[in-house]
Amino acid sequence: MDDVALAAGGGAGVTAEVAVLGAGMHPWGKWGRSFVEYGVVAARAALADAGLQWRDIGSVIGAGTVRGGYPGYIAGATFARALGWQGSRVASVYAACASGAQAVDAARAQILSGQADAVLVVGADAAPKGFFRPAGGDRPDDPDWLRFRVLGATNPVYFGLYARRRMAVYGDTTDDFAQVKVKNAAMGALNPRARYRSPVTAEEVAASAVVADPLRLLDICATSDGGAAVVLASMEFARRHGHPEPVRIRAVSTVTPRFPNTVLDLPDIATDSAVAVDPPGGTFRMSIAGAAYEEAGIGPEDLSLAEVYDLSTALEVQWYEDLGLCGAGEGVRLLRDGATALGGRVPVNVSGGLASFGEAVPAQAIAQVCELTWQLRGEAGGRQVAGARVGISANQGLFGHGSAVIAVR
Amino acid sequence: MPRTRTPVVAGWFEGDGDGFRLLGTRCASCASVFFPREDHYCRNPACASGELEEIRLSRRGRVWSFTDSRYRPPSPYVSDPELPWQPYVLIAVELAAERIVVLGQAAPGVTVADLAVGMEAEVVPGVLHEDAATTWTTWHWRPAGVRA
């Protein structure tokens, strides 16, 4: 582990590191205001956390939202204008659930190439009540529109398919899935930025309404308003500004799937066919984590904690396997053993996860990095993972998007 | 006036009764199969072909997974908000010959209790919804041995 803590980049396959100087969030909830407000609150919190002024920032990268009209598509400029035009570089990134991580990756690239010393990354969303839905209009060439028009296939439909498949292949049960909610709600109760802060019992999960068999309301994450921001900087800038030992980002994975992708992915109506080309050795989700491990020069055995995209309880169990915390089909055993709870071998979603936050799409991957930052600094209060040195975040979203970030201290 | 029968998406299926099939395309160069159809480019990264021919997909496959929709999906799914919501089942079926998994609604009357992963299912013609002038047609998966 010491090599992880001490090495500052260099070596085969390992990219140089950037420092996380500040992390900030607007609490998640259903606040009914503009996403711009949430982003500004998060940005100012991250700047204050970094001990920097807005004018110290040389570049702003916004993670976009499709729900905020034009200002959402050009989120970087929207946040820069709200904070006060000051002539910085600006860029906007949209990549579904990976938007925030791609924004982090773009910031890192600017820092490592010398284009900017300190970059502000911001994502925020104001979510509708109920199911996410496609953009309006009659668009038969859009797979996201088609899955609703032809099948009525909401996001929970896909989560239900994945959960049922696990039950059939691995023998997981709905009681097992409920234990993910119980675990994450217990940790979310300790997080002042979470939307849901009450413990949940397995009986409460079982008593909630079925949304998409076998999953119930409390198995599926809500859609939320929220905002998150980080200030990233070069190691040299960090030292000059009083951060001799900052949390460092060691890897950012934003890979695409490989053809043929044989796991049914949102928003697709079918998988790729494997009739002409054999499937790759691992799934897309496995490759997301694999690319991050390779870039960081570490493996799952080095992790102190993980923040993963628990769109559903069953999907969190799937992530255990896709991150390599255990073998295929062993996720539930890891859960039952308490390995992924606070105090376990590798706590997962100590923030409370999407189960406690609900999803604010462009903010979520940034929020994961915020949690890793606070954990690695030892500032996470009652949900602190003792001695945290290495953390990974992972997510997956529509249209072949996914990401993983590895942070170390 | 009788309603016109119109596929919800043109070119995705054809035929009636036992002759009903999903339509995909196959790359003339590498033989990769696509559903929904790709007509202009092959998505195999090792193939630069732009020549694809229409094929009829296998009628039968095995249930890869299934779920249901207990709440009314949002637009552009069409349903009558005046009527109580009637849940329906969705089935993902793996076609062995094409090595592909295709999602679809189950035939009316099928419930999750009728289903198991690995069960045989066949594609049948179905109706998505009707309006004053049009019956919008689609495909349904019907599990073998379930006469809904």
Tens of pLDDT, residues A245-262: 999 999 999 999 999 999
pLDDT at A12: 45
3-state secondary structure of A101: helix
Interface of A with B in 60-89 (CB under 8 A): none
The 10s digit of each residue's pLDDT in A146-158 is 999 999 999 999 9
Instruction: Tell whether B29 is covered by a domain.
Output: no
List C-alpha distances in Å: A123 to A97, A156, A248, A313, B11: 11, 24, 20, 24, 40
Rg (CA), chain B: 17
- Give me chain B's average pLDDT, please: 96
A217 vs B: CB within 8 A: no
pLDDT band per the 50, 70, 90 thresholds, residue B147: low
A256 vs B: CB within 8 A: no
A259 vs B: CB within 8 A: yes
A135 vs B: CB within 8 A: no
Full domain range(s) for residue A93: 15-130+226-246
Instruction: Tell whether A136 is covered by a domain.
Output: no
Looking at the structure, tell me whether residues A89 and A115 fall in a common domain: yes
Looking at the structure, tell me whether residues A262 and A331 fall in a common domain: yes
Q: B33, B40, B65, B102: which to substitute to probe chain A, counting the most A Cβ within 10 Å?
A: B65
Average pLDDT score over residue span A354-359: 97
pLDDT at A134: 85
Looking at the structure, tell me whether residues A260 and A238 fall in a common domain: no
Cβ within 8 Å, pair B74-A264: no
The 10s digit of each residue's pLDDT in A178-199 is 999 999 999 999 999 999 999 9
Instruction: Tell whether B30 is covered by a domain.
Output: no
Rg (CA), chain A: 20
Instruction: Tell whether B84 is covered by a domain.
Output: yes
The 10s digit of each residue's pLDDT in A102-134 is 999 999 999 999 999 999 999 999 998 878 888
Q: Which residues of A touch B27 (CB under 8 A)?
A: 276
Instruction: Tell whether B33 is covered by a domain.
Output: no
Instruction: Tell whether B75 is covered by a domain.
Output: yes
Looking at the structure, tell me whether residues A36 and A93 fall in a common domain: yes
Q: What percent of chain B has pLDDT over 70?
A: 98
CATH number at residue A95: 3.40.47.10
B97 vs A: CB within 8 A: yes
Q: Which residues of B touch A258 (CB under 8 A)?
A: 45
Q: What percent of chain A has pLDDT over 90?
A: 92
Say yes or no to pLDDT of B30 above 90: yes
pLDDT band per the 50, 70, 90 thresholds, residue A14: low
Task: Please tell me the distance from the alpha carbon of residue B54 to that of residue B75, in angstroms, as a whole number.
Answer: 30
Looking at the structure, tell me whether residues A290 and A355 fall in a common domain: yes
Looking at the structure, tell me whether residues A329 and A197 fall in a common domain: yes
3-state secondary structure of A185: helix
Instruction: Tell whether A4 is covered by a domain.
Output: no
Q: Which residues of B touch A223 (CB under 8 A)?
A: none
Omega before A279 cis (within 30°)?
no
As for how many domains chain A has, the answer is 2
A278 vs B: CB within 8 A: no
Contact assessment for residue B99 and residue A275, using Cβ atoms and an 8 Å cutoff: yes
The 10s digit of each residue's pLDDT in A307-332 is 999 999 999 999 999 999 999 999 99
Looking at the structure, tell me whether residues A53 and A150 fall in a common domain: no
Instruction: Note the ipTM here.
Output: 0.97
As for how many domains chain B has, the answer is 1
Instruction: Tell whether B42 is covered by a domain.
Output: no
Task: Please tell me the distance from the alpha carbon of residue A112 to that of residue A101, in angstroms, as a whole number.
Answer: 16
Looking at the structure, tell me whether residues A102 and A68 fall in a common domain: yes
Looking at the structure, tell me whether residues A196 and A292 fall in a common domain: yes
Q: Which residues of B touch A262 (CB under 8 A)?
A: 99, 101
Looking at the structure, tell me whether residues A307 and A371 fall in a common domain: yes
Size of interface A-B (CB pairs under 8 A): 142
Full domain range(s) for residue B91: 59-148
> How close, in Å, is residue A400 to chain B by CA atoms?
14
Average pLDDT score over residue span B99-124: 98
pLDDT at A3: 42
Contact assessment for residue A396 and residue A97, using Cβ atoms and an 8 Å cutoff: yes
pLDDT at B2: 86
The 10s digit of each residue's pLDDT in A198-242 is 999 999 999 999 999 999 999 999 999 999 999 999 999 999 999
Say yes or no to pLDDT of A6 above 50: no
Task: Please tell me the distance from the alpha carbon of residue A194 to that of residue A296, in angstroms, as a whole number.
Answer: 29
Looking at the structure, tell me whether residues A34 and A180 fall in a common domain: no
Closest CA to A158 of B95, B7, B73: B73
- Give me chain A's average pLDDT, please: 95
Please name the helix (run of DSSP H) or strand (run of DSSP E) that holds residue A238, with its range, or none: helix A235-240
pLDDT band per the 50, 70, 90 thresholds, residue A10: very low
B81 vs A: CB within 8 A: no
Cβ within 8 Å, pair A269-B35: yes
Instruction: Tell whether A152 is covered by a domain.
Output: yes
Instruction: Tell whether B94 is covered by a domain.
Output: yes
Looking at the structure, tell me whether residues A195 and A294 fall in a common domain: yes
Cβ within 8 Å, pair B33-A160: no
Cβ within 8 Å, pair B104-A151: yes
Which chain B residue lies closest to A141 (C-alpha atoms)?
A: B9
Burial class of residue A102 in the structure, from the number of CB atoms within 10 Å of its CB (0-12 exposed, 13-18 middle, 19+ buried) = buried
Instruction: Tell whether A8 is covered by a domain.
Output: no
Task: Please tell me the distance from the alpha carbon of residue A370 to that of residue B91, in angstroms, as a whole number.
Answer: 39
Interface of B with A in 15-44 (CB under 8 A): 27, 30-36, 43-44
